Amino acid sequence: MATLNQGMNRYVPIVYRNYIAAFVLAPFALVLESHRESSGGDDSDKQWVAGTLLILLGCVSWSSSYVLQGAAISVAVERRSSGWAVVWDSRLFAPLYTLARESHNYVQGLVTKTEGPVFVTALDLFA
C-alpha cells in the first residue's frame, strides 16, 4: 500500500511513454521510408519527396498534439515535482516487461514471415 500512497501519478508514465516512443520510432520510420524505391523519372521523384515530407509533417503534427494534450493533462493533475521522478523500483517492472514482451512479439512476427513458424517455435525463449 505504501507504493500506491507515494510515487508517480498514473498519468505521468503515459507522457514518458509517448516521448520515448516518438524518439525511438522516428529514426526507424525515416530509415525505412528513405529506402523505398520509386519507379519513374524526375517528376515522380519530386512528387515522392513532397509526398513523404507532407506525410511526415502530418504524422509529426498529429502525434505532437497527442503528446502535448497528455502532457497538459498530466501537469494539471500532478503538480508535485516528486510525482514526476522516475524511481527504479518494482513500479517499473510491468512497463519494462511489457516493452520486452512486445519487442519479442514483433521480432517473432518478422522471423515467422521470413523463416517460417517451425524456426520460431524452436527458438522461442518465452515458451
Which is more confident, 1 or 13?
13
Predicted TM-score (pTM) of the model is 0.37
Residue 52 clears pLDDT 80, i.e. is over it: yes
pLDDT given for residue 39 in this prediction: 54
pLDDT given for residue 126 in this prediction: 55
Residue 67 clears pLDDT 70, i.e. is over it: yes
For residue 31, give the C-alpha cell.
530509415
Dihedral (C-alpha) 39, 106, 97, 29: value to the nearest 10 degrees? Answer: 0
Q: How far apart are CA 40 and CA 67, in angstroms?
A: 38
Residue 48 clears pLDDT 80, i.e. is over it: yes
The tens digit of pLDDT for each residue in 24-40 reads 877 877 777 666 655 55
| Diameter over CA atoms, the chain | 66
pLDDT given for residue 5 in this prediction: 61
pLDDT given for residue 4 in this prediction: 46
- Dihedral angle sign, alpha carbons of residues 87, 88, 89, 91: positive
